[in-house]
Amino acid sequence: MSFYDQWAAILIGTVVGFLLVFSALVGAKLLAPYARERAKGVSYECGMLPLGRNWTQVHVRYYLIAILFLLFDVETVFIFPWAVTFLGLPEFVLYQIIIFIVILGLGLVYAWRRGVLEWR
């Protein structure tokens, strides 16, 4: 099988996956009872009526973690191709990657010292 055949298989898998979900959901829609009632629609809050709004602002620490994640995940995207081929590459590439990892490590240390990693 060629390169494209492999990805065609993935495409077919996607279609199969969606069919699976829709059959389950449609089956449930057909078989499950449905009765409209007012009290059912109240969102659960330990048996009490919900107090105030349910969608609120999210704490900023989540964004900090998200930014860190972006940094490190992008880093690994760069490292993966290198990891596959690094044996055939010239020596300076290795040093570059090491410098790259060290810089990111310093970034982690910086974030650590600034207290971003403390979950307060």
Partner 1 sequence: MSGAPFLATEHWWDLRDLSNISREILEFLDRVGPDWLAYVVSPLIGFVAAFLLFVLPSQLFVGVYGERRLIGRMQSRLGPNRVGKFGLLQPIADAIKLIQKEAITPRGADKWVMWTAPVVFVAPAVLVWAVIPFGPNMVIADIPVGLVYFLAITALPVLAAFMAGWSGNNKYSLFGAMRVVAMAISYEVALVLGLLGVVLFTSTMSLQAIVEWQREHDIWLVFLQPLAFVIYFISASAELNRTPTDIAEAESEIVAGYLTEYSGMKWGLFYGMDIGYALAAAAFGSTVFLGGWSLFGLEEWVPPWLILVAKTHLFYFVFIWTRGTLPRLRIDQLMALAWKYMLPLAAINLLVVAAERLWWHEAGLGDGIVYLFAAANIALALLLVVGWARVLGYRPERVPTRPRLVKHVGGYVAPGAETGGGR
Partner 2 sequence: MTEIRSEPFVVNIGPQHPSTHGVFRVKVTVDGERIVDAEMVMGYLHRSIEKLAEERTYTQNIPFTDRTDYLSSMSNNLGYCLAVEKLAGIEVPPRGNAIRVIMAELQRLASHCMAIGAFANDTGAWQTPVMWTFREREKILDLFEMTSGARLTCNYMRIGGVAFDLPKEFEPACRKLLATFPSFIDELHGLLSENEIFIARTRGIAVITPEQAINASLSGPMLRGSGVAWDIRKADPYCGYEQYDFDIPVGYNGDSYDRFIVRLEEMRQSVRIIEQALDGLPGGPYRTEVPLALRPPKGEAYARVEGPRGELGYYVVSDGGPAPFRFHIRPPSFINLSLLKEMTVGGTVADAIVALGSVDIVVGEIDR
The number of residues in the chain equals 120
Contact status: 45 vs partner 2 (CB under 8 A): yes
Closest CA to 111 of 60, 81, 68: 68
Of partner 1, partner 2, none, which one sits near residue 114, judging by CB under 5 to 8 A according to partner kind? Answer: partner 2
Contact status: 57 vs partner 2 (CB under 8 A): yes
Of partner 1, partner 2, none, which one sits near residue 57, judging by CB under 5 to 8 A according to partner kind? Answer: partner 2
Of partner 2, partner 1, none, which one sits near residue 100, judging by CB under 5 to 8 A according to partner kind? Answer: none
Return the amino acid letter for 15.
V
Of partner 1, partner 2, none, which one sits near residue 96, judging by CB under 5 to 8 A according to partner kind? Answer: none
The DSSP-derived string for 37-52 is -TGGGSPPSTTSPPPS
**Nearest distance in Å: CB 117, partner 2:** 10
Residue closer to partner 2 by CB (options 88, 115) is 115
Question: Angle at the Cα of 80 (from 96 to 95), degrees rounded to 5?
Answer: 15
Question: DSSP label at 35?
Answer: -
- CA distance linking residue 77 with residue 94, whole number of Å: 16
Contact status: 39 vs partner 2 (CB under 8 A): no
**Nearest distance in Å: CB 55, partner 2:** 10
